[in-house]
Amino acid sequence: MSHVRVRIAPSPTGAPHVGTAYIALFNKVFAMQNSGKFILRIEDTDQTRSHPEYEKNIFDALKWVGLLWDEGPDVGGDYGPYRQSERTETYQQHAEKLVQKGGAYRCFCTPDRLAKMRADQMARGLSPKYDGKCRHISENIVAQKVNNGEPFTVRLKVPRSGKCVFEDRLRGRITYNYKEIDDQVLLKSDGFPTYHLANVVDDHLMKISHVIRGEEWISSTPKHVLLYKLFGWEQPEFIHMPLLLNADGSKLSKRRNPTSIFYYRDAGYLPESLLNYLGLMGYSRPNGEEKFNMEQMAEDFDIERVSLGGSTFDLVKLKWLSGKYIREDLKSDVLQQRLNEWRLNSEFFTEIIACVQERMDTLGDFIPLCSFLWAREVELNPEDLIPKKKDDKETLQFLQTLLFAIEETPFWNAEVIEEKIKEVAEFFEWKLRQATQPLFVAISGKKVAPPLFSSMAFLGKDLSRVRIVSAIEALGGVSKKKLQKFQKAWDQR
């Protein structure tokens, strides 16, 4: 195998996901085993959702679990830039090339028309698909429209018949009929590429040899294969990993599970145990060992041993593994050091002490007052969550809406938290006091605690989110239908 080059390509649009670390791990181990290179590429082509803060989070999260990359936006490499927003010209040139070759075409349809078309198709029981209106516009008209400054997208011209066949290393031959595949937008009207174009162009330019990614990409692989063909490029080997699942069997989601890597860091799981656990998902070492690090995994790694059913992400087993590492691998002085590095240090105490001081009578009050800040989880009494003159249903919606609100910003500090809570309180026409009560209890498990905003800031966004989710569960949880209803209400504020 010559020059194995693999990559992970996360998009900086939210909290760094454990699924990213999972896929990164298998890529990394595959590279290690083949003395190849492991590349980090930032897919920030969605200008509305991407944020530099989230990019930094990806770096920090991957470093924390110990997944280091050979090439990337921060460390450089021979195939940069590694940030897609810095490569727009490349994509535009390639899109143009494709148009000239007849493999793609400019589309002038407005989002409005597309939405109507889709709604119409749905109403008639058809699956939504671009109708090909702009597929055959004459060159003159296209030139005219472009000259007039009409916004356009570039769409992939998918053959109307024939089959697309590709090999997946783990699943064998997969076949799709071209007629089932939509004329995907490759270049958006803002000039940025969609995933499909950017991904194929970059993988080729960066000489990626193996595409190891999640199973959810299988259905868009035909589009990628078509692109390789149209460009006349050799395609990489495709390896689709099984998905990480919620307990109900659906794709791992933050509504049902803590999915942010930072949650695991802040809740005090050992990074080596998280990485090890991820290695257990869909994989087993030939010797059956369950406790191993990346180097050991790479020693006898065999991609063919990956099992194909999705794996339920089981916090209970992860907790056991973390405990195993703490007990077996850390001498007490090292453990003390690890606790220090975590959040049991004077820097953090300094932040907190001023907040707690007013509530202390004796020094012995300090730890009991703020122990929740160093706890993986807190116990709470569901009744304490409900403010006076409100009921459980209102509280439920309030907490859920707050969850939506905090997702709207990539930042997390006392000011932002206060702002968001006030925003939601106003929306519900609740007094601030009523709004903070359920949060106090959700966050601390108690009615008496240091100031809420600082506490939440200190806890971190991910731990705070999970505690609010737990509080919602304690109140009976929210159905998918209700969730959508709540989201809609909030969005229309």
Q: Which residue, 139 or 248, has its beta carbon nearer to RNA?
A: 248
User: Residues 6 or more apart from 256 whose CB is under 8 A from it?
Assistant: 246, 247, 248, 250
Strands (E), 184-292: 185-187, 210-214, 237-241, 244-245
Is the CB of 289 or the CB of 415 nearer to RNA?
289
Do residues 417 and 456 touch, judged by C-beta distance below 8 A? yes
Closest CA to 299 of 282, 317, 318, 279: 279
Q: Which is nearer to RNA, 150 or 426 (CB)?
A: 150
SS3 letters for 260-286?
EHHHHHHCCCCHHHHHHHHHHCCCCCC
Task: State how far the Cα of 3 lies from the Cα of 42, in Å rounded to an integer.
Answer: 22
C-alpha to C-alpha distances, 65 to 33, 179, 261, 280, 342, nearest whole angstrom: 19, 43, 8, 15, 13
Quote the least distance from Cβ 191 to RNA, whole Å. Answer: 9
Of 37, 223, 254, 446, which is the active-site residue? 254
Q: Which among 329, 325, 330 has a CA at the least distance from the CA of 275?
A: 325
Q: In this structure, are residues 366 and 403 in contact, taking their beta carbons and an 8 Å threshold?
A: no
Is 254 labeled as ligand-binding? yes
Least spacing, CB of residue 228 vs RNA, in Å? 17
- Select 49 or 393, whichever has its Cβ closest to RNA: 49
Q: Is 370 annotated in some ligand binding site? A: no
3-state secondary structure of 17: strand
Question: At a CB cut-off of 8 Å and minimum separation 6, what does 369 contact?
Answer: 356, 359, 360, 448, 449, 450
Minimum distance, C-beta of residue 323 to RNA, in the bound complex (Å): 6
| Least distance in angstroms from the C-beta of 151 to RNA | 6
3-class DSSP state for residue 80? coil
Q: What's the CA gap between 108 and 143, in Å, rounded? A: 12
Active site residue 101: no
Q: Smallest distance, Å, CB 74 to RNA?
A: 18
**Between 185 and 449, whose beta carbon lies closer to RNA?**
185
Spatial contact of 53 and 262, defined as CB atoms under 8 Å apart: no
Residue 482 CB, shortest distance to RNA, in Å, is 18
Retrieve residue 228's tokens: 């390789």
Does 134 appear as a known binding residue? yes
Q: Torsion-angle region of residue 349: left (phi > 0), alpha (psi -120 to 50) or beta?
A: alpha
Q: Which is nearer to RNA, 236 or 460 (CB)?
A: 236
Binding site listing for Zn(2+)? 107, 109, 134, 136
| Residues labelled as active-site residues | 254
Binding site listing? 107, 109, 134, 136, 254
